[in-house]
Structure 1
């Protein structure tokens, strides 16, 4: 399978069972407390206990949603053509927790980067304020600009980090899935990089860029078209709902499937 065939296979994969795509999308809706509140007519909820309950439910649904993503990877590694069922809840929750842990580890550099730049900005602000107090010059807009600039640089570096690290993060999940979901395999970087060398860096980059373009194209064109049509009908909320229930789960399934297929590829195939 070359990269083009992998992309084609992964694009067709969710289309084999639209019912499951829609169910997956519907589950994804409840990964935010806002939807929970709206669905249960509790939009004005202020009770701390109920708010904590909703947050807990959101977390459970998010873990299950992520666990299903890993299940798609597992089935794809076994060359199955069908999408996973929504049973085996315990296994999906277990897999989801592991994916969350891996994600947190990979996110730590981003959190640290933004935090460091925010702290540095605050330190700089303190220096300017002290200087202003002593010398009396006008601080008009300087404080907010400096703070926003520091945080902005941190966010920019974080985005660059995400772009570079994302394929490694995805392949670490696949490597974990390929080893009975054992968490330790997500951090066996020597094995993961050996696998990448077997895939070929050019093949991996080609898949990553192709998938990125597909993601942008589907989300931009179909998403914009959907919102545009329903805004004309004065039903933009329905357009947003369709994007969440159809386009987003489709993209999740595409990435799970294609990452498993590229993982199994070897140079020369």
Structure 2
């Protein structure tokens, strides 16, 4: 079932390249801060489609109408994500403070233990926040449902904690692999151009290297990044539908 989710999400994310470019433009202007909420709001719409859909269905990509509603949804998403990450952050800070009060080896041990605990809590918090967003989307956008811990835990229990964590970690691995492969291919192409130019006696290595960085950045921002964000949102939404 997990592989079916990945397959569906990979295909779904590539349905409309114009959507990816529009999202990429939003990501570019997110340096101004406000457009980032449109990006997170769009991803929330992808989740909405997924939690009310089925694996390997014919769900279309969401549109960009009602930008104000999308912006508000994006703010909600960011608030939910920050709220769930507060606990791991607090635990890490407490461990660092306690470690600073201890001598030598004990201080190092406390910080290492704190890092391990924080890592586990971050994984759980990220999973809870994503499933919380799915729960909110499933319940017609009711903001309080994103923090209905008992209900969200029941959803995860029904799906299975192992399946949820395995799916989430798989998303991270797939995201890293796709990003790395695309970047490597682009740099390899420009490396070949640069070496060919050098063999022909042209002093173009610097220019080709700079052009490679520029093109790689553009493709990552306007194509790969949006594609992966939709892929992750769709996958989490479909995971939510796996409740018994």
Q: Gaps (5+ residues) in structure 2?
A: 195-207
TM-score (norm. length: structure 1): 0.72
Superposed CA offset, 1:214-262 (max 9, x none): 1221122223333444465322122122112211111110111111111
Say yes or no: does 1:27 pair with 2:26. Answer: yes
Q: Is the 8 A contact 2:132 2:145 kept in 1?
A: yes
Closer/same/farther in 2, CA of residues 227 and 31 from structure 1, 3 Å limit: farther
* RMSD, aligned CA: 2.8
1:197 Cα offset (Å): 2.3
Aligned to 2:39: 65
Who is 2:80 aligned against? 102
Contact 1:215–1:251 (Cα < 8 Å) also in 2: yes
Aligned partners of 1:199, 1:255: CA distance in 2, in Å? 18
Say whether residues 1:6 and 2:30 are aligned partners.
no
CA contact (8 A) 1:73 1:256 kept: yes
Offset at residue 266 of structure 1 (A): 3.4
**What's the secondary structure of 2:14's corresponding residue?**
helix
Written as runs of structure 1 = structure 2, the 5 A alignment for 1:76-115 is 76-79=50-53, 81-115=59-93
What's 2:227 paired with? 250
Cα deviation for residue 16 of structure 1 reads 0.8
How far apart, in 1, do the equivalents of 2:169 and 2:89 lie? 25
CA distance in 2, matches of 1:96, 1:23: 16
The answer to whether the 8 A contact 2:95-2:111 is kept is yes
Distance 1:206 1:121, change over 3 A: closer
Give CA deviations for 1:21-69 in whole Å, capped at 9, x if unaligned.
Answer: 121122112222xxxxxxxxxxxxxxxxxxxxxxxx42x1111111111
Aligned positions, number: 223
TM-score, normalising length from structure 2? 0.78
Contact residue 227 and residue 240 of structure 1 kept, 8 A: no
Is residue 240 of structure 2 the alignment partner of residue 263 of structure 1? yes
1:49 corresponding residue in structure 2: none
Alignment match, 1:198? 158
In the alignment, which residue of structure 2 is the partner of 1:184?
A: 144
Would the aligned equivalents of 2:85 and 2:125 in 1 still touch at CA under 8 Å?
no
